[in-house]
């Protein structure tokens, strides 16, 4: 089953600011994840249904939420590795 890809408003703004090269790499990963969003090795500890995509070479992370009821994958945050874990709790509490 293919999930719909949706963005939080703030995550979409971050997405637009990304370097095109970085965005291209994330797109490739997201195409795979909408088909199979639950990758156990990418699960974020302490958050149910929350997963990440890592681009180690450039130091970026993308965090997404899987909602099976709505058959959707929500991109919550796209940022540098050192900042994403500070931003994530604030976005989830809104």
Q: Point out which residues pair with 79 in neighbouring strands.
A: 61
Which residue in the list 45, 52, 54, 56 is annotated as catalytic? 52
Q: CA-to-CA distance for 26 and 60, rounded, in angstroms?
A: 9
Average pLDDT, the chain: 95
The pLDDT tens digits for 47-73 are: 999 999 999 999 999 999 999 999 999
Tell me the residue range of the domain where 83 lies: 4-93
Check which CATH number belongs to the domain holding 48 and give it: 3.30.2310.20
Does residue 10 carry a pLDDT above 90?
yes
Number of domains in the chain: 1
Tell me if 51 sits within 8 A of 42, measured CB to CB: yes
List 43, 54, 81, 91, catalytic entry = 81
Quote the pLDDT of residue 94.
62
Catalytic status, residue 52: yes
Per the annotation, the verdict on 81 as an active-site residue is yes
């Amino acid at each position: 089953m293919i999930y719909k890809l949706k963005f939080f408003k703030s995550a979409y703004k971050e997405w637009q600011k990304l370097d095109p090269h970085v965005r291209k790499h994330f797109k490739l990963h997201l195409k795979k994840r909408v088909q199979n969003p639950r990758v156990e090795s990418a699960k974020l500890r302490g958050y149910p249904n929350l997963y990440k995509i890592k681009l180690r070479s450039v130091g970026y992370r993308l965090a997404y939420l899987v909602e099976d009821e709505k058959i959707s994958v929500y991109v919550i945050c796209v940022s540098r590795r050192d900042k994403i874990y500070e931003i994530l709790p604030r976005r989830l509490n809104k």
